[in-house]
Amino acid sequence: MSTNIFSQTSYKTYILVHGAWHNASCWYKVVSLLEAKGRKVIAIDLPGHGKDTTNPTNITLDDYVKKVVAVANEQTGQVILVGHSMAGVVISQAAEELGTNKVAKLIYLDAFLPKNGESVFSLAEMVQKQLPSSASNTPPLMQCIIPSEDKMTSVFKPEFAKQFFYDDCSAEDIKFAQANLSRQAFAPLATPVSLTDSNYGTIPKYYILCTKSKDLDKTLLSTHVPCKKVYTLPSSHSPFFSMPEKLVNILNEVY
């Protein structure tokens, strides 16, 4: 009986959180590969994305965080929060609220890794200031999106998605990914996080840097907050499509 109690308390669940404009479907290869290794894993749709039909117009960062917190609290034992891109900010704030008893580890997949008071937009601005203008052939983000009339949301232009997100992905994966892009609220990207050293600061963090990503060079972000380890993948911004086995090997190692 003591063995069962031990395994129950040490059991961890991966919660995969997608980035901007995306939804849970982007993780489908990763979910099946992790499950094949005997891991429990849940990929969630943030509010207004995928199967979640919430109107994105008034969605806030707090709405995103509440979803992650609710799913985490439904799990037995601790969770490992994995955030892609924009979701780095989401899992950071969720970890702050859930605390060290619930969150075992944080994994940032080519993601925005914030300090207290920072947002996706402020981190992106910080990175762009550090990079020479010739560092990328990718168009500026604002040229790749279509804002809504009220300027509260945007959609990503399909003709730029391949270059921005899926440069090393198969034609089949690109077609699937583009078909699942969602309208994105601006508010969660502009809202600063509120983090403390006692909660967020004490949770072990791991960074997976995609070295061939064309959306934004996140090398600076991988060291912006101390991490236990920084891994690299020679992939675009979407290794869950282009090299899921290598990504899963890293996730499984961090477990």
Q: Is the pLDDT of residue 18 over 70?
A: yes
Q: Which domain holds residue 114?
A: 2-254
| Alpha carbon distance 120, 135 (integer Å) | 20
CATH number at residue 16: 3.40.50.1820
In this prediction, residue 10 has a pLDDT band, given cuts at 50, 70 and 90, of low
Q: How far apart are CA 111 and CA 102, in angstroms?
A: 21
Instruction: Specify the pLDDT at position 216.
Output: 87
How many structural domains does the chain have?
Answer: 1
Reported confidence tier of residue 3, pLDDT bands at 50, 70, 90: very low
* Residue type at position 207: Y
Alpha helices in the chain (DSSP H): 2-10, 28-36, 61-73, 87-98, 120-130, 141-144, 158-165, 171-179, 187-190, 239-242, 244-254
Predicted confidence at residue 145, as pLDDT, reads 92
Q: How confident is the model at residue 158 (pLDDT cuts 50, 70, 90)?
A: confident
* For residue 253, pLDDT beyond 50: yes
CB 106 within 8 A of CB 229: no
pLDDT digits (tens, 9 = 90+) for 44-68: 999 999 999 999 999 999 999 999 9
Average pLDDT over residues 245-249: 98
For residue range 106-142, what is the model confidence (pLDDT) as tens digits? 999 999 999 999 999 999 999 988 876 545 556 777 7
